[in-house]
Amino acid sequence: MRTRNAPTAAVLALSLGLLATACGGDDDTDTAGGEGGDSGSVSGEVTMWTYPAIADEPTHRAFWDDTIAAFNAEFPDVDVTVEIFPWADRDQALTTAIAGNSAPDVVYLIPDQLPAYARNIEPIDDYLSEDEKADYRPNVVDSVSIDGQMMGAPILQSVLALVCNKQVFDAVGQTEYPETWDDLLDMAPTFQAAGFDMTAYGGDVANSLNLSFYPLLWQAGGDVFNDDGTEVAFNSDEGVRALEFVQQLVEDGYVDSAQLTTEPPLEQTRIAQNKVACVWHMEPQYLVDFWGAENVIVRPPLKDAEQIQYGTVGSLSMLRTSEDKDAAGAWIDFVTSAEQASEYDTAGRFFSTKESVGALYEGDPILGELEQFAGLTTVGPLNEHAREVMGVLAPEIQAVLVGDKEPQQALDDAADAANALLG
């Protein structure tokens, strides 16, 4: 058994600034894995850290045990150990391991972690087979690329879209679903008159803007940062339009005002009480228990200037300190291949990052519909200050929603604070 659950160790409170001085790895970029070298010539030891993306522990452990066995049939001289850590404190644990020269060879990362660890990561491009690399969806490649290099090999993708409650639409006699912002605003008075909210907006500053404001910013044609990441760009005309749209939803009473400053448990919200027509911030499978599967209608992401929505990507990254890079690269290439990754994706109810896979959930009225929009998602900005910027922007957005500021002023104030962080 080479798969084991790793207990959470006591860790030091080290900042991510230590990463730059802790990397110390070599620049060996042999390509026995990516360029189709002799598998018998690849040897070494590979340790991978991952997390419970598959919630059922026995299923998750069995997947990795089976995958290691299949890999060793092709690469018998590579000894692989997969350690499954809890999600909590994962950055702190990894930072400490890097600083203490005890980091794994391979680690599961999501896009907003990649810039923080970029100096510690070995770009994966040269270790992936050309066929597998070319098979990735373009938006997936973008989600893990910094300065034109892939900082991880994607293994899974999540997808968000517009999700509407058929029971609510039936109650007001509405047979069509909104496709654009204008559609949403046009329909809203009818739902409001019948006692329903048109949508929901979570304004609690602890919430991720990836789920609330950023999709609207992108749909308006805007972005969080400028092209080179040196300044923020959310206070553009497009950003103002996006925030004015949310402001109108609030001021006209089309959303529940209680969620503008707090985030109650889902079961306590009007969403769970079948009082909301559509949402864009939730995966639809989590609404089945409240709405009933027959009432969960998955629609394309809303459109304004652009049609786009948030969805994250999970990838496997190689750290520069790996002593057996060829072996680590061969392992990553094998695990993230279309065939192997598809098994992982279906076990975790995720979506494939590869175009050749086709439909994993054909016939499923929820996941099968959601799967169609995998090419319309973005993970947002790959910037090492992205989380900090979100931290200064969220309170300014909330100030607009509670009536303390106007959109342009709030975004300009947030931009001043954010640009100071960027230096």
Residue 357 lies in a domain: yes
How many domains are there within the chain?
2
For residues 336 and 349, give the distance between their C-alpha atoms in angstroms, rounded to a whole number: 16
Give residue 63's domain range. 32-158+312-363
Point out the least confidently predicted range of 34-38, 92-96, 220-224, 247-251.
34-38
Cβ atoms 14, 48 nearer than 8 A: no
Q: Please check the confidence at residue 156 and state whether its pLDDT lies above 50.
A: yes
Residue 15 lies in a domain: no
- Residue among 125, 70, 43 at smallest CA distance from 328: 43
Residue 224 lies in a domain: yes
Q: Residue 423's pLDDT is what? A: 78
Q: Residue 74's pLDDT is what? A: 97
Is the domain of 153 the same as that of 297?
A: no
The average pLDDT across 106-115 equals: 97
CATH code, 295: 3.40.190.10
pLDDT in tens, 228-280: 999 999 999 999 999 999 999 999 999 999 999 999 999 999 999 999 999 99
Is the domain of 67 the same as that of 136?
A: yes
Residue 263 lies in a domain: yes
Is the domain of 177 the same as that of 95?
A: no
Is the domain of 187 the same as that of 303?
A: yes
Is the domain of 300 the same as that of 328?
A: no
Is the domain of 123 the same as that of 256?
A: no
Is the domain of 223 the same as that of 281?
A: yes
pLDDT in tens, 318-338: 999 999 999 999 999 999 999
Is the domain of 152 the same as that of 197?
A: no
Q: Please check the confidence at residue 33 and state whether its pLDDT lies above 90.
A: no
Is the domain of 178 the same as that of 324?
A: no
Is the domain of 319 the same as that of 242?
A: no
12: confidence class by pLDDT, cuts 50, 70, 90: very low
Listed in sequence order, the DSSP H helices in 194-350 are 213-219, 237-251, 288-291, 325-335, 338-348
Q: Residue 1's pLDDT is what? A: 36
The average pLDDT across 95-118 equals: 97
381: confidence class by pLDDT, cuts 50, 70, 90: confident
Q: Residue 7's pLDDT is what? A: 41
For residues 188 and 200, give the distance between their C-alpha atoms in angstroms, rounded to a whole number: 12
pLDDT in tens, 354-371: 999 999 999 999 999 999
Is the domain of 106 the same as that of 147?
A: yes
Identify the bridge partners of residue 79 per DSSP, sorted by sequence position. Answer: 45
> CB-based contacts of 311: which residues, under 8 Å, 6+ apart?
157, 158, 159, 160, 374, 377, 378, 379
